[in-house]
Amino acid sequence: MEGTPVSTSESALTEAFRRLFSSGLSFTRIKDEALNDRLLSKAGSNSNEAPSISGRSIAWKLFLAKHEPLQSSSTPRAASLLDGLRKSRQRYTRLLEEKTKPPDKRLAEPPTVGKTVTDSTRNVNLNNPLSLHNENPWSEWFAGLEVKQTISQDVERTFPDMPFFREAEIQNQLTNILFVYSATHSRIGYRQGMHELLAPLYYAVNFDAVGEHASVEHELREICSRDWVAADAWALFDAVMDGVSSWYEWREPDPRLVLQEQQGPLSGHVNLVIPDGRHGIQAWVAPIVKTCNYIQNDLLKKVDPNLWAALQKAGIEPQLYGIRWLRLLFTREFDMTDTMKLWDGLFACDPSLALAQWVCVAMLLRVRTELINGDYSSQLTSLLRYPSPKKSKLNDAPTHTCLLLQHALTLQMSPNPSTAATINMENRALLDIDSNVQEPPASPRRRPQVSRQAQSSFIPVRDRDTNHPGHSRQASSPPLGIPEMLARGLLERGESLGINKTLLSAVSELKRNIPDISAFVKTPSQGSSSFPLEDEHTIPERPPWEPKSRLEVEREMEAFRRRDKRLGEALGWIVDTLLQDEESVKDVQALRRRRGEAVESLAYIRDVLISDPAELEEDRLLKGNSGQQPPEKVGTSQAEEPESSLQQRDRPTVIEPPTIAPIAPPLPVSVVDSGSGRKISRPPPATQFSPNVSVARRPASGGADMSQELAKSAPWNRTKSDFNRPTTTVLPRKPPPTSSGRQDSKSVDKSREFDPLGAVEYK
Partner 1 sequence: MTPRSALLKVIILGDSGVGKTSLMNQYVNKRFSTQYKATIGADFLTKEVETEERPVTMQLWDTAGQERFQSLGVAFYRGADCCVLVFDVNSSKSFQALESWRDEFLIQSSPHEPEEFPFVVLGNKVDVDESKRQVTQKRALAWCQAKGNLPYFETSAKEAINVEQAFQTVAIKALQQESEEQLFSDYPDSFPLDPHETQSSGCSC
Contact positions vs partner 1 (CB under 8 A): 150, 153-154, 157-161, 191-193, 195-196, 250-251, 274, 276, 278-279, 283-286, 288-289, 315, 317, 319-324, 327-328, 332, 377, 380, 384
Quote the least distance from Cβ 155 to partner 1, whole Å: 10
Count of CA atoms in the C-beta half-sphere (13 A) of 568: 29
Nearer residue to partner 1 within complex by CB, 259 or 281: 281
The β-bridge partners of 284 are 271
Handedness of CA 129, 132, 138, 143 (dihedral sign): positive
Judged by CB, which is closer to partner 1: 385, or 391? 385
CB of 182 to partner 1, least distance (A): 12
CA distance 743 to 98: 48
Per 3-state DSSP, the chain is made up of helix, strand and coil in percentages (nearest 5) of: 55, 0, 45
Neighbouring residues of 475: CB distance < 8 A, sequence distance ≥ 6:
698, 701, 702, 704, 708, 709, 712, 713
CA dihedral 171, 172, 177, 183 (to 10 degrees): 120
Name which of 154 and 509 has its Cβ closer to partner 1.
Answer: 154
C-alpha span between 47 and 49 (Å, rounded)? 5
Q: What does the angle CA 608 – CA 611 – CA 612 come to, to the nearest 5 degrees? A: 65
- Minimum CB separation of residue 240 from partner 1 in Å reads 16
Measured from the CB of residue 377, what is the shortest distance to partner 1 in angstroms? 6
Of 274 and 309, CB closest to partner 1: 274
Nearest to partner 1 of 272, 497 (CB atom): 272
Which residue's CB is nearer to partner 1, number 243 or number 737? 243
Shortest CB 266 distance to partner 1, Å: 16
Q: Which is nearer to partner 1, 250 or 520 (CB)?
A: 250
Q: In angstroms, what is the minimal distance from the CB of 396 to partner 1?
A: 34
Task: Choose between 377 and 395: whose C-beta lies nearer to partner 1.
Answer: 377
d(CA 132, CA 325): 42
Q: CA quadruple 144, 242, 78, 207: dihedral positive or negative?
A: positive
Give the Cα separation of 28 and 34 in Å (integer). Answer: 10
> Which residue lies nearer to partner 1 by CB, 79 or 274?
274
Whether the CB-CB separation of 497 and 635 falls below 8 Å is answered with yes
How many Å is the Cα radius of gyration of the chain?
Answer: 30
Cis peptide bond prior to 732, omega within 30° of 0: yes
**Rounded alpha-carbon distances, angstroms, from residue 592 to 659, 662, 715:** 19, 19, 11
How near is the Cβ of 270 to partner 1 at its closest, in Å? Answer: 12
Three-state DSSP state, 282: strand
Please say whether the beta carbons of 231 and 31 come within 8 A.
no
Q: What is the 3-state secondary structure (H, E, C) of 418-431?
A: HHHHHHHHHHHHHH
CB of 195 to partner 1, least distance (A): 7
Residue with Cβ nearer partner 1 (283 or 485): 283
207: nearest Cα among 340, 332, 55, 385:
55
- Quote the CA–CA distance of 376 and 440 in Å, as a whole number: 38
631, 531 Cβ separation under 8 angstroms: yes
Q: ω before 532 within 30° of 0 (cis)?
A: yes
User: Minimum distance between the CB of residue 96 and partner 1, rounded to whole angstroms?
Assistant: 24
Cα four-point dihedral sign 729, 732, 738, 739 = positive
Check the CA dihedral 322-323-324-326 and report its sign.
positive
Report DSSP state, residue 359: H
Q: How far is the CB of 325 from partner 1 (least distance, A)?
A: 9
295 or 503: whose CB is closer to partner 1?
Answer: 295
Cβ atoms of residues 491 and 718 within 8 Å: no
Nearer to partner 1 (CB atom), residue 282 or residue 451: 282
Minimum Å distance from CB 52 to partner 1?
19
Report d(CA 129, CA 119) in Å as an integer.
13
Question: Among residues 142 and 250, whose Cβ is nearest to partner 1?
Answer: 250
CB of 374 to partner 1, least distance (A): 13
What sections of 434-481 are H helices per DSSP?
Answer: 435-438, 462-467
Which residues are CB-neighbours of 443 under 8 A, at least 6 positions away?
527, 528
Among residues 157 and 447, whose Cβ is nearest to partner 1?
A: 157
Ramachandran region, residue 37 (left: φ > 0; alpha: ψ -120 to 50; beta: rest): left
Closer of 9 and 158 to partner 1 (Cβ): 158
